[in-house]
Amino acid sequence: MSWFSKLVGRGEKAEALPSDPIDAFWKWWERASVRLAAGYDRGEQPNEALVQEISERVNAIHEGLAWETGRGKSSQHHFALTAEGDAALRVTTQRWLARAPKASKSWEYYAARQGSGGDTRRTLTIDGREFDYADFRIGLDVDESHALVHVAVYHPQFAQLSEGERAQPLFLFLDDVLGEDAVTSWVGSVDSAGELPDGAGTAGELVEAVRKLRVDWDDQTVSLLEGKRDDAPVIAMMRLKLKRLDYLLHDHHLKLLLDLRQPREDGLCFGDENEELGAFEEGLLEELGHRAVWIGHETVSGQRIIHFHADGSPALQDAIQRYTDAHGDWESELTVAYDPGWEVLKRY
């Protein structure tokens, strides 16, 4: 039996610190890192006081963050912050990382939990319960259209636990197998299983399924979708394979609504106007460049609805409005909403 090698912490509310808690953290870290590394090099785990000290500094950045340490890749040790799956806080951990010192012999730094590949010799211990990695099994359902793997995770201990109690070992296991960012980008729905799923595989098979998706992945792929909304037909062109973490600062959803001049009886678009709208959209994308990412568009109930994500800059919104006013005679409306989780893509 092996010990789960990563130290994970979460703190209580921190005492008053300098006005910028990220800068305060890195200033404090200059000396604290020496103490922490020295203890590890002697084969010692940090004492409760040091764990609390670290947690207070992390908690001062944001109460929703947690931290962990573990073996480094190039350095002896690593220190990582984790947003615990919160898309808005993942931006905060990236800002923290942007101010980190250069990696040293002792320490390297990450803005999310790092993966180890799911070594079957490991054991995860939580509240006195031991979850041997060798006993985890995973039901896999590969979704090529969205470039995701949906999983149902089984462990013999899960039969004795409620759904809520299974969540921590389940997600710590997945994060350790793939890394937190890879789970966010490549794993879709996550379920726990009290009974062994049919055809369940190992952690290695999950790693291989994600590797295959990465090989063939192209986020420029546009999918044609048809359906109904409030009994009205909808035709959509959407980039379903986009990965949120590739556009980390694009946390606002911009929706441009254009009223069709001559919609069909079913609310969809005729050929000539459809071509005009396509040219308009291409020109707008060229105008915006890297400042916004195009998610796709929908045609429904006499409207063309174009979806973007961007950083919420008023200047960008002004640019969209100016282009729309100058390149077409459609009645238009631009709406902007804070959307760190990119909810628009989850509809499809």
Closest among 82, 83, 79 to 108, alpha carbons compared? 79
Domain boundaries along the sequence of the chain: 7-110, 123-216, 223-346
Residue in the block written with tokens 């063939």: 216
Which tens digits make up the pLDDT trace of 78-105?
Answer: 999 999 989 999 999 999 999 999 999 9
Query: What is the C-alpha to C-alpha distance for residues 320 and 288, in angstroms, rounded to an integer?
Result: 8
Whether the model clears a pTM of 0.75, i.e. scores above it, the answer is yes
- Tokens at residue 201, please? 């595989």
**Percent of the chain beyond pLDDT 70?**
95
**Which residues are within 8 A (CB) of 145 and not within 5 positions of it... i.e. 6 or more apart?**
223, 240, 241
* pLDDT given for residue 270 in this prediction: 87
Q: What is the mean pLDDT of residues 22-37?
A: 96
Q: Per CATH, the architecture of 223-346 is what?
A: 2-Layer Sandwich (3.30)
Are 154 and 117 spatial neighbours (Cβ–Cβ below 8 Å)? no
The secondary structure of the chain in percent helix, strand, coil, rounded to multiples of 5, reads 40, 25, 35
Q: How far is CA 147 from its chain centroid?
A: 14
Which tens digits make up the pLDDT trace of 115-124?
Answer: 988 788 888 9
Q: What does the buried/exposed string (b/e) look like for 134-144 if buried means 16 or more CB atoms within 10 Å of the residue's CB?
A: eebbbbbeeee
Query: What is the C-alpha to C-alpha distance for residues 246 and 293, in angstroms, rounded to an integer?
Result: 10
Residue 266 main-chain phi, psi, to 5 deg: -90, 5
